């Protein structure tokens, strides 16, 4: 049997790294398996304006690398790599990673959430050929310069992406399925007041055009009230319609709620004793950096208490 770790944290976003800071400071030498997106979703954002303590805002990437350094300073080990499978029926828990097996007395699942897709075949075929899920990652690409760009969604992410894209595109269209935004008032007002942004209300993307050309050339929009369809030429489709929890790797061994979030049993406890969940993978309500950090802290404290009880 390989090394047994007291605490293994899966995920390295706000929740995972805060759990790592707390577990490391409790001398538990946690292992963080960083996953596919080290630093988590915040690394794909620009300026984080609502994380307390940064009156001028803080760069998302800088915030996350600071958290990682802080965790490492107290003895956390951050390892790149993905967890492919877990076995929660045995003790210690076994995790199959792309770099071999890891054994854990306690497990903190902080895998966050991934981008929700529209679910269109043309969207899938044109991914990375003009269809993207992250304006801050891809917006500056030459293919989008001085072109019409379309953002789908009515939440804070869509507003942020649309405003960011006005730096590059000739015009930015926001396609939203209702006639009211879900975004916070401040973000909504900023986008509504931006002269380079045009809103297409009550509209959905029925199809992405350009499959034959091998790149996005436009979208077919459907008005959900009248059913009328029209084409809108664009070089980029930025899908910002929310997220789905990253819980598939658990293979059904933890209880999930109807939307696929990990079901919590008080605090950060899950349906399996010794397994805790923190951040967006278990939070369908708040989904903020600071709440993720808060639950990460709670999960580390609960793991520490659980270990103390094991004797």
Would you tell me which residues interact with ligand NAP (CB under 6 A)?
49-50, 116, 118, 152-158, 160, 177-178, 182, 184, 204, 240-243, 287
Contacts of 281 (CB under 8 A, 6+ apart): 11, 15, 109, 110, 111, 112, 113, 245, 246, 247, 261, 262
CB of 258 to ligand NAP, least distance (A): 16
With tokens 């996953």, the residue in question is 35
The CA distance from 57 to 133, in Å, is 23
* CB-closest chain residue to ligand NAP: 155
Looking at the annotation, which residues are catalytic?
134, 137-138
171, β-bridge pairs: 148
The CA distance from 269 to 164, in Å, is 38
The CA distance from 38 to 250, in Å, is 19
CB of 161 to ligand NAP, least distance (A): 9
CB of 283 to ligand NAP, least distance (A): 9
Identify which of residues 35 and 155 has a Cβ nearer to ligand NAP in the complex.
155
Which of 163, 142, 141 lies closest to 151 in space, CA to CA? Answer: 163
Strand, helix or coil at 102?
strand
DSSP 210-251: -TTTTS--EEEEEETTT--EEEEE-SEEEE-S-EEE--GGGT
CB of 131 to ligand NAP, least distance (A): 14
Contacts of 193 (CB under 8 A, 6+ apart): none
CB of 251 to ligand NAP, least distance (A): 26
The CA distance from 188 to 178, in Å, is 14
């Amino acid at each position: 049997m390989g090394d047994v770790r007291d605490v293994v944290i899966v995920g390295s976003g706000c929740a995972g790294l805060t759990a790592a800071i707390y577990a490391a400071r409790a001398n538990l030498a946690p292992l963080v398996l960083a996953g596919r997106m080290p630093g988590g979703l915040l690394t794909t954002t620009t300026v984080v304006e609502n994380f307390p303590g940064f009156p001028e805002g803080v760069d998302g990437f800088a915030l996350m690398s600071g958290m990682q350094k802080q965790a490492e300073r107290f003895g956390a080990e951050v390892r790149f790599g993905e967890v492919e499978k877990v076995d929660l029926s045995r003790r210690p828990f076994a995790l199959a990673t792309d770099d071999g097996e890891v054994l854990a007395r306690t497990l903190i699942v902080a895998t966050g959430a991934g981008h929700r897709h529209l679910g269109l075949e043309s969207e899938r075929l044109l991914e990375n050929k003009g269809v993207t899920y992250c304006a801050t990652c891809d917006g500056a690409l030459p293919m989008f310069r001085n072109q019409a760009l379309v953002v789908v969604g009515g939440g804070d992410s869509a507003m942020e992406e649309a405003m960011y894209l006005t730096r590059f595109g000739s015009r930015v269209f926001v396609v939203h399925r209702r006639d009211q935004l879900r975004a916070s008032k401040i973000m909504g007002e900023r986008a509504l007041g931006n002269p380079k942004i045009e809103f297409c209300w009550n509209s959905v993307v029925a199809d992405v055009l350009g499959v034959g050309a091998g790149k996005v050339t436009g979208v077919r929009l459907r008005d959900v009230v009248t059913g009328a369809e029209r084409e809108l030429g664009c070089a980029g489709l930025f899908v910002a319609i929310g997220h789905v929890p990253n819980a598939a790797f658990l293979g059904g061994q933890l209880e999930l709620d109807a939307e696929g979030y990990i079901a919590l049993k008080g605090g950060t406890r899950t349906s399996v004793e010794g397994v805790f969940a923190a951040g967006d993978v278990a939070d369908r309500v708040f989904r903020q950096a600071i709440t993720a950090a808060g639950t990460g802290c709670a999960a580390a404290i609960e793991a520490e208490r659980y270990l103390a009880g094991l004797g």
